[in-house]
Amino acid sequence: MADKTKTAGSQQTMNDLLEGGAEIKVLKAGDVVPGKILTLGKNEVYVDIEGYGIGVVRGRELYDDEATLSSLKAGDEVFASVVEVENSEGNIELSFRQAGQERVWQTLVEKMQSREVVHTKILEANKGGLMVEINNVIGFLPVSQLATEHYPRVEDGDKTRILTALNQYINKYFDVQIITADQQEEKLIVSEKAVYEKELHERISKLKIGDTIIGTISGIVDFGAFVKFGELEGLVHISELAWQRIDHPKNIVRVGQEVKAIVIGLDKGRISLSIKQLEKDPWQDSVKKYQIGQIVKGKITKIMPFGVFVELDDQIQGLAHVLELSHTEIKNPEEVVKLNEERDFKIISIEPQEHRLGLSIKALTDAPVKTETKAEAKAEPVEAPVEVKEEAKVEEAKTEETTVE
């Protein structure tokens, strides 16, 4: 009786669906469907495929990731691929093996969304970062996503030396978070620094611009120096190391050196520091002995396509633009000056706040008088008097009339 009632109810439901014009989905081989595990056996797993019936996964169709399979339990949601819509027992024949990738990527996406911390082994290194493996999927940990303690401090950004530094992490385990999980692109990217991001932001939030810190130089690169203080690390850009112009940070500081710096910037977890701003700007006093129009002697310290840098004393350096090197047009400053050469210059501008002092060689002499070329010296034709032009027009008109006749 119960069976008849159930059948009648099912029939009514089907009729309602048909009358209502609802779309009826039909399973076919190859479809990937979600399900919930009912029971697990040694060689088979039964899965409830909602809206379709009971599915079974047997033998070789069991997902071959033993570690993942062993962690499954009744009630877990899984993905399976349809092998046969209905077997001899009336069940749906399923495959975990074929749907394995979907299940793996779904897990990776869930880990990314939940910001789960994953303990993973470093497999290999390249110049751009480190390779890891999560759920049998190879992922990439870029250098930019490394935590402070693992970030390679390599001078001049030498990629070969960066690779050497990264190779020491092979076979070690890092805690990371997934930041990109794209199955279609088969792209898995992880971040180590994201694991400590919350803690880092809490520590940084206690800092404010203008704070003075005492730390140790932890690394030197061509664009500046890193300073470690407590659990934090900041960057002193090369322009903030000293008031005078420097060619490389290693000429000013060394790794392990204790320094005092001031916080000048806090942006997206980055701490910007300055060493020079804790000292009085010597340029402001030194430049007072120079005036516009003054002729000075200076040493050429650097030649660039746009001009030359000139050292006037230990604190003051000026710039002579390429247009100020000669009265005649030149394509390269080296046509006029040489590196390390001492020359006389005339000061043509002083901007104390910007640390700019403009110099000129051509201002030392008057521009040469321009001589006329033969073409310019050629006499221009003398315009005829008005009366003559009018007569010419009359004669021209008469000629045209004769031609027409």
Domains of the chain, residue spans: 35-98, 112-197, 207-278, 283-364
Separation of alpha carbons 142 and 308, rounded Å: 39
Fold of 112-197: OB fold (Dihydrolipoamide Acetyltransferase, E2P) (2.40.50)
3-state secondary structure of 210: coil
CB 343 within 8 A of CB 361: yes
Number of CB atoms found within 10 A of residue 160's CB: 9
CB 141 within 8 A of CB 130: yes
Q: What is the CATH number of domain 207-278?
A: 2.40.50.140
Digit-coded pLDDT (tens) for 23-70 = 556 888 878 888 999 998 878 899 999 989 999 988 877 765 454 567
Angle at 179 between CA 176 and CA 184, to 5 degrees: 125
* Mean pLDDT across 273-285: 90
pTM of this prediction? 0.53
Residue 200's pLDDT band, with cuts at 50, 70 and 90, is: confident
Q: Do domains 112-197 and 207-278 have the same CATH topology?
A: yes
Fold of 283-364: OB fold (Dihydrolipoamide Acetyltransferase, E2P) (2.40.50)
Residue 400's pLDDT band, with cuts at 50, 70 and 90, is: very low
Digit-coded pLDDT (tens) for 120-155 = 999 999 989 999 999 889 999 999 899 888 888 776
401: pLDDT strictly greater than 50? no
pLDDT at position 51: 86
Q: Show the beta-strand stretches assigned E in 51-115.
A: 53-58, 77-84, 92-95
175: pLDDT strictly greater than 90? yes
> Over pLDDT 70: what percentage of the chain?
82
CATH class of 35-98: mainly beta
